[in-house]
Structure 1
Amino acid sequence: MSRPLGAARRMPRRPVLLGTAGLAMAAIRSAHAAQYPEQTVRYINLFPPGAATDLLSRAYCATMSTLAGEQFVVENKSGAGGTVGQAAIAQSPPDGYTLGLGSIASLGIAPSIYPSLPYDPARDFTYVAGIWQVPNLLFCNAAVPVRSLQDMVALVKANPGKYLYGSGGSGTSPHLTMEWLKQVAGLNLAHVPYRGGAPMLLDLIAGRVHFAFDNLASLLAPVRQGQIRPLAVTSKERSPLLPDVPTTNSVYPELEITSWGGLVGPARIPAQIVERLADLTHETLKAAELNRIFREQGATPWWLPPEEFAAFQQQQQRFFAGLVKRVGASAN
């Protein structure tokens, strides 16, 4: 039996209405993205106040606030080598108003150090932009009788099991760098992990631990005040801030590592907001005041757009998986 012509004509109306509504919603989302941000943006830093990442994050967020016209507010959420804060970012709404640090520790190293993570680095994040790179510094308590990396190796080998090293947490780049040094130099040096670099530094100055690696950014003041003694930097070349301190690769050619940090958010942030954040970050990294602060902290502005940052994270995860396997590092 044939259908009435009127019914045949009315059938497409629902798909057409749905399609029109979808286009309208897309236009609304696009308009909101163009106006982003329209309120305060929460930036989660993975380590405690006073740590290198905290100093650099606050300088970055201050410049972003000026350019964006809304505040980017730093919130410190530390623990487990940065993975506590990284998980908080992953579990946030994907609206662009909760972002944070993506670090070498929590996105490059942690997948190979921790048996289970509350996030998947490839699946659970939006990679927005690279922000900085900074070398690690090997240093010791000022009372320890060494003045070079070679002195340290000789002292520890002559006193196996006597000396301790601290780190800002298991799975951080300073922790893994020391484990790497222990392997290539054949050292017996016990690990004492802390909840961030700042409390570790206080204990090292007090003599409770003897050696450590940490980001150069947080160590310049205690070096200048004579509270700690620098022994070597992990960058390819000497730091202009500490030109008399040799590189680790001048003694052990393979021992070279640079920490990094970038802007990430939870997965599925709208593409227009990601583009806006990447553009703001690019402009922020050109700011003269930010560059001055970064240089003073031993950091280098490091611009990477979203796709390149995501690819870099995957490359770093593969590299550290191999390194962790070679040195036998674990989260303890």
Structure 2
Amino acid sequence: MVGGCHRAFGRAPLLIARRGLIAAGLALAYAPARSQGTWPNGPIRFVVPFAPGGTTDIMARLVGERLQARLGVPVVIENRPGAGATIGSLAVAQSPPDGQTLLMSNIASHAISPALYRNVRYDPVKDFAHIAMVTVNPSVMVANPRFEAQSLEAFIALAKARPGQVHYATSGAGSSNHMIGVRLALAAGLELVHIPYRGAGPAMTDVIAGVVGVMFDSLPSASAHIRAGSVRALAVSGAERSPAFPDVPTFREQGIDIVSYSWFGVSAPAGTPSAIVERLNAEIRASIAEPAVARRLDELGGSPRDWSPAEFTAFVEREVATWAPVVRASGATAD
């Protein structure tokens, strides 16, 4: 939003990340006890490298609930946001490769941030066992209903009239949504100010409150707010309109050549035994094929992928090769 145009739409304040407490004693609810040497042999830690409320968190909780039911042990969601998803990802890469620690990997943690951040201490391919893809989905540009630009065309006109004064929020530096903002600025010749948050949930809260006028978000985390009228959708980043929101035009329809999809998968530390990787892959693929889960993914605008570990790993390798030159061309960097 334009600085000084409306007091409510100033620069977003720095947010203090809050990490949920993990309830002790969860494992006591699960019986019988498992002997040493079997897997899983206790609660599984499922790390989400963003704050609660965003798409990565939503997908982890959806998958984690089904894994908990299928494996018979607690699956504890641990939100570890920061540095474009690299903090939580590094924590998993450095964990024992015993199948008891998983990561909700995504386009930020494994395709964009490794090229954006100068001191990423993990290799997105070599330091992980990539287990299963869950879903891919487009992103969406949304605005507070009181923001003065209520269409993509109006937003571009506003930003051209006031260079360096129009802000947009995202879930963090290095996210695919950050890159969409960069690509929009490059395509339309704009000077925009990026406001990175430590997750989509806190960013969306500030957009709804009017602290920031506009946000780029993954469609699943924004969908409920769009349906509720809390925000207005201006454009989706898919090649075609989303079946979940057929009235929202694409960027391409509005003259901006942007097509981008986020993705969300499950990964573990490199060296995790192949038998565990294969078991998890089978359980995750079965979970996303369940009618209730498939319906939920459809409602969120996601498209599930029934891939093997090898197929998912090859995809991550392609994503790394695809996004590194995009990040370099954008000139964006982060410490």
Aligned counterparts of 2:36 and 2:296: Cα–Cα separation in 1: 33
Where does the alignment leave 5 or more consecutive residues of structure 1 unmatched? 1-30
Alignment-derived partner of residue 206 in structure 2:
203
Structure 1 position 155 matched with structure 2 position 151:
no
Alignment-derived partner of residue 124 in structure 1:
127
> How big is the shift at 1:32?
8.2
Alignment-derived partner of residue 295 in structure 2:
292
Indicate the SS of the match to 2:268.
strand
Q: Which has the larger radius of gyration?
A: 1
Amino acid at match of 2:205: L
**Structure 1 stretch displaced more, 142-151 or 181-190:** 142-151
Amino acid at match of 1:168: S
Aligned counterparts of 1:75 and 1:293: Cα–Cα separation in 2: 22
Aligned counterparts of 2:190 and 2:211: Cα–Cα separation in 1: 19
Alignment-derived partner of residue 23 in structure 1:
none
Indicate the SS of the match to 2:286.
helix
Structure with the higher fraction of residues in helix conformation: 1
Amino acid at match of 1:295: D
Alignment-derived partner of residue 280 in structure 1:
283
Alignment-derived partner of residue 189 in structure 2:
186
Aligned counterparts of 1:317 and 1:253: Cα–Cα separation in 2: 24
Partners of 1:39 and 1:70 within 8 A in 2: yes
Indicate the SS of the match to 2:289.
coil
Amino acid at match of 2:220: A
**Structure 1 stretch displaced more, 169-178 or 279-288:** 279-288
Alignment-derived partner of residue 71 in structure 2:
68
How many residue pairs get aligned? The number is 301
Q: RMSD value over aligned CA atoms?
A: 1.7
Deviations 1:37-62 (A, max 9, x none): 23221111111111121112111111
Aligned counterparts of 2:72 and 2:283: Cα–Cα separation in 1: 11
Aligned counterparts of 1:59 and 1:121: Cα–Cα separation in 2: 24
Indicate the SS of the match to 2:141.
strand
TM-score normalised over the length of structure 2:
0.86
Amino acid at match of 1:68: L
**Structure 1 stretch displaced more, 293-302 or 168-177:** 293-302
> How big is the shift at 1:266?
0.4
Aligned counterparts of 1:218 and 1:275: Cα–Cα separation in 2: 29
Structure 1 position 302 matched with structure 2 position 305:
yes
Where does the alignment leave 5 or more consecutive residues of structure 2 unmatched? 1-34
Structure 1 runs, 4 residues or longer, greater than 6 Å off = none
Partners of 2:165 and 2:192 within 8 A in 1: yes
Partners of 2:139 and 2:216 within 8 A in 1: yes
Q: Percent identity?
A: 38
Partners of 2:84 and 2:174 within 8 A in 1: yes
TM-score normalised over the length of structure 1:
0.86
Structure 1 position 106 matched with structure 2 position 109:
yes
Aligned counterparts of 2:333 and 2:142: Cα–Cα separation in 1: 22
**Structure 1 stretch displaced more, 51-60 or 296-305:** 296-305
Deviations 1:12-45 (A, max 9, x none): xxxxxxxxxxxxxxxxxxx988x53232211111
Deviations 1:52-80 (A, max 9, x none): 21112111111112222222221111111
Indicate the SS of the match to 1:219.
helix
Alignment-derived partner of residue 328 in structure 1:
331
Indicate the SS of the match to 1:304.
coil
Aligned counterparts of 2:147 and 2:209: Cα–Cα separation in 1: 12
Indicate the SS of the match to 1:285.
helix
**Pair 308,252 (structure 1): closer, same or farther in 2 beyond 3 Å:** farther
> How big is the shift at 1:252?
4.2
- Aligned to 2:44, which of 35, 41, 45? 41
Partners of 2:49 and 2:81 within 8 A in 1: yes
Structure 1 position 247 matched with structure 2 position 250:
yes
Deviations 1:215-255 (A, max 9, x none): 11111222222221110000111112211100112234631
Partners of 1:90 and 1:265 within 8 A in 2: yes
